[in-house]
Chain A
Amino acid sequence: MDRRAFLKTSLVAGGAAVTGREARAQEEAHPEEFVGILVDTTRCIGCRSCEVACGETWGLHVPDPVNDGALEHERTTSDNQYMIVNRYDTDAGEVFVKKQCMHCHQPACAAACPTEAMKKHPNGPITWDGDKCIGCRFCMVSCPFDIPKFEYGDWNPELKKCTMCFDRLKEGEQPACVAACPTDTLMFGTQVQNLSIARHRIARHPDQYVPHIYGDREVGGTGYIYLSAVPFEQLGFRMDLGRTPYPEYTREFLYAVPAILFGVPAFLLALNAMTGAARGDPESDFGWEPEFGEDE
C-alpha cells in the first residue's frame, strides 16, 4: 500500500468512526413515510365540522358552529380544543383557516422535553405521554406556533395538543377532522403526496393561489401544509419563524457540553498541578488545603 492509499483508507475509516451513527441512521431509513395533512384554505367554507369532530373524538369542547359566534374573533387552540377555525378578512374576501399543531418534522417541543414526553413518531405525528411529563412547560416556551396548552386549573395538569389522531391512524383511519371535512379542504396523505398535490394546484391555477406552501420550508418543514389565495400574513401566520429547524438552535450548545465536560477538568487539573509545583507545596495534589483564618 503506498502512502496515498494508506492516508485515504485511514481518512475514510476515521470519517466512518466519527459519523458512524449518522451513516447507520441513514441505512435504517424511515420504514414509514411521514404522513401529514394538506389544508387548502381556498376550499374552506367555515362550517367547522372539523372542530365538532375533533371535540367529539377527544372528549373536548364540542362547539355549536351555528350559534356560538366563535368566528367573530380570532381564537387560539386551548386546553379544551385541539384545533379551531378562524375567519380572516383578506384581499380575497373572507378566508377560513384551521389551526392546530403543525407536527414539525424536527419539533422544538420534543427537543425541549427533558423526559421525552413529547414524542415525534416515525410516521409523523407528535404525541404527549402523561407518564413521563413533569409539567415544566419548556415545550410551550419553545414551540414556534404556541401549540401545547397546559391545564392551569388542575392539580394534575396535562399538556393538551393535537395528536393528528395518532390512535385512529393506527386503526387505519383518517384523522377525525379530515374525515369530517365536506369540501376536501383537508387532505390526509404522505408528505410527498401532499406536497406534489399542493405544487400541482399552484402550477395549474396560478391565478387562484399565491406561490407559497406554508409548512414546506417553515421551521424546516411541517406535517401540516397550507395553500392560500392571499399572502399568509393575512391569515394570521407568522412569517418570521425562519427555515431553520428549531432544535438546531440548541444543538451547538449541546455539542459544546462534552468538550467542556472533559476539556475544562483536564485544564484545571493541569493548572493546579503546575501552581502547586511552582509554589513548592509539600503535597501538590488532592490533599492540599491552605490554613484557615490563622487567628487565636
Chain B
Amino acid sequence: MSQLATVNPGIGQIFRFLIQELKPRGPIFTPFNIITGAIMLVGAYVLVIRFIYGLGSVTNLSQEFPWGLWLGFDVVTGVALAGGAYVITYTVYVMRVDQYHSIVRVTVLNSLLAYMFYGSALIFDIGRPWHALNPFIGNNFGYSSVLFLICWHFMIYMVATAIEFSPVVAEYLNLQKARKFLVKLTLGTVILGITLSMLHQSGLGALFLMAKPKIHPLWWSEFIPLLFFVSSIYAGLAMIIFEGSLSHRIFGDLIPEKSHHAFEGIVFGLAKGAAITMFVYYFFKALLFIHGQHWEHLSDGWGAWFLFEVIGFVLIPAFMFAFGYKNRSIVIIRIAAVLALLGVILNRLNVSVITFKWYLPDHYYPSWQEIVVTLAVISAEIWVFRWIVKRMPVFKPAH
C-alpha cells in the first residue's frame, strides 16, 4: 500500500480517502440499521432466486397480471414522488427565487436517488435484463413506444440531475475549478430536467393508454398523461415537506440554524403551491368524471373506492394545505402532506395494479417477496442518502 503510494501518491491517496469515507459515521447497530439491513439481505436473497428461477418464483405476476408492485409502486409511484426536483429547480434557477435555495440541493439529491433506485428497479422487473441496453443501442429503436421514450428520459434525466448535483460533490472533494465549471452547466441541465420531467411524468401515464379495456373506466381516461403530470407537481411538493420535516428532525445537527428557521417559511410556500395544484387537479378529475358520464359507476364498491381516493386524498388534503397556510399551522400542513402522498400512491397503484382487470374474479396481490424487495430498495436509498448528507455539503455550503 505504502509502496503504491510512493509510486503514485494520487491513487494511494484516493484509495485511503475512499476507505476512510466508506466507514459509517455514528453507531452501527441501531434498531433502524438492524431492521433495514435485514430487509436488504432478504431482498438480495429474493433477487438471487428471481434471477435463477424466473419472475414466477418470487412474484405473484401472471399471464393476466403482467405488471405488479415492482412496476406499479417502485417505478410508476416512486418517480411521481420524485417530482419535487423539477418544481424547485424551476423556482430557484429559472425564476430566480432565492428563498427556496436552501432546499435545492437536498431535493435534487432525493430526486437523483429516487430515479437511480426506483427507476432502476425496472431491471428486476424486466424478464430479459441482459437486453436492457437494447432500447439505447443498435437497430432496435421502438420509436412508437411510450416505454422507449421513458427509458431514454430516465437515462438522460439521471445524467442531468447528476450534473445539477455535481457542484456539491466538487465542493466535498475540494475541487474548486471543477466546481466553477459544473455550476455553469446548472441552468442548462435544469431546463433539460424540467422538460424531460414534464414528458416522462406524463409518459408514465401514457403507458396505460392502450390498456383502455382493462382499466376501470373511473380511472382510465385519454388524459391520464396530463393527470399524472399535474399530480406529480403536488406529489413532489408534499414529498419535500414530508422528507424535509423528517430530515430536520434526524439530521438536525447537520443543518445550519438559519436554514432551520427558513424551512418553516418554505413549508408555508410549498403548502400554498400544493393547495392550488391539488384544487386544479381535483377540478380536472371532476370535469373528466362529469364529461365521461360516469355517474352509474359510482353505485358499486369501485365507485366508493374512487370517491375515497379523490375526496379523501385529494380534496381534503387540498383544503388542509390551504387551511394550514392561512392559519400558519405546520402540523396541519404535515398531515396534509402525508395524505396527499398517500393519495398519489393510491392513484398510481389504482391505475397500474388495483383496478387493472377489475372484472376478473381472482385479482393480483403482491407476494411477500415483492414487498420485501420494494422495502429493500427504499432502505438502500435511505442508506445512500444518509451516507451522502453526512459527508457532502447538502444542507450547508462548503467550509
A interface residues, Cβ below 8 angstroms from B: 76, 78-79, 108, 110-117, 130-138, 140-142, 144, 146, 149-157, 238, 240-242, 246-247, 249-254, 257, 260-261, 264-265, 268-269, 271-272, 275-276, 279, 281, 285-296
Contact A134 B131 (CB under 8 A): yes
Complex formed: what's the CA distance from A117 to B106 in Å? Answer: 40
Contact A295 B67 (CB under 8 A): no
Complex formed: what's the CA distance from A216 to B277 in Å? Answer: 45
Residues from chain A with Cβ under 8 Å of B122 in the complex? 136
Cβ 8 A contact of B94, one of A116, A257, A268: A268
Contact A238 B102 (CB under 8 A): no
Contact A112 B96 (CB under 8 A): no
Residues from chain B with Cβ under 8 Å of A261 in the complex? 195, 199
Q: Given A115-B131, A136-B126, A155-B51, 17 other A-B contacts at CB below 8 A?
A: A112-B145, A112-B147, A114-B145, A116-B141, A134-B127, A134-B135, A135-B127, A136-B125, A136-B127, A137-B67, A141-B210, A150-B55, A156-B128, A157-B128, A251-B144, A254-B146, A292-B105
- A to B CB contacts below 8 Å, 5 in the list: A114-B142, A133-B128, A141-B211, A253-B202, A288-B93
B interface residues, Cβ below 8 angstroms from A: 51-57, 59, 61-64, 66-67, 90, 92-96, 98, 101-102, 105, 122, 125-129, 131-132, 134-135, 140-142, 144-149, 151, 183-188, 191-192, 194-195, 198-199, 202-203, 206-214, 222, 225, 256-259, 396-397
Residues from chain A with Cβ under 8 Å of B185 in the complex? 286
- B208 — nearest CB in chain A belongs to which residue? A141
A263 to chain B, nearest CB (A): 9
Contact B135 A115 (CB under 8 A): yes
- Interface SS of chain B: helix
Residues from chain A with Cβ under 8 Å of B184 in the complex? 286-287
B353 to chain A, nearest CB (A): 11
- A296 — nearest CB in chain B belongs to which residue? B256
Residues from chain A with Cβ under 8 Å of B258 in the complex? 293-295
Residues from chain A with Cβ under 8 Å of B396 in the complex? 292-293, 295
B229 to chain A, nearest CB (A): 10
Contact A135 B128 (CB under 8 A): yes
Residues from chain B with Cβ under 8 Å of A157 in the complex? 54-55, 127-128
Contact A152 B256 (CB under 8 A): no
Residues from chain B with Cβ under 8 Å of A292 in the complex? 101-102, 105, 396-397
Complex formed: what's the CA distance from A155 to B191 in Å? Answer: 41
Complex formed: what's the CA distance from A245 to B126 in Å? Answer: 26
Cβ 8 A contact of A268, one of B54, B128, B194: B194
A126 to chain B, nearest CB (A): 14
Contact A253 B213 (CB under 8 A): no
Contact B134 A134 (CB under 8 A): yes
Cβ 8 A contact of A260, one of B51, B102, B195: B195
With A144-B213, A247-B144, A253-B209 as known contacts, state yes or no: A293 contacts B397, CB within 8 Å. yes
Residues from chain A with Cβ under 8 Å of B195 in the complex? 260-261, 264-265, 268
Contact B146 A134 (CB under 8 A): no
Residues from chain B with Cβ under 8 Å of A254 in the complex? 144, 146, 149, 206
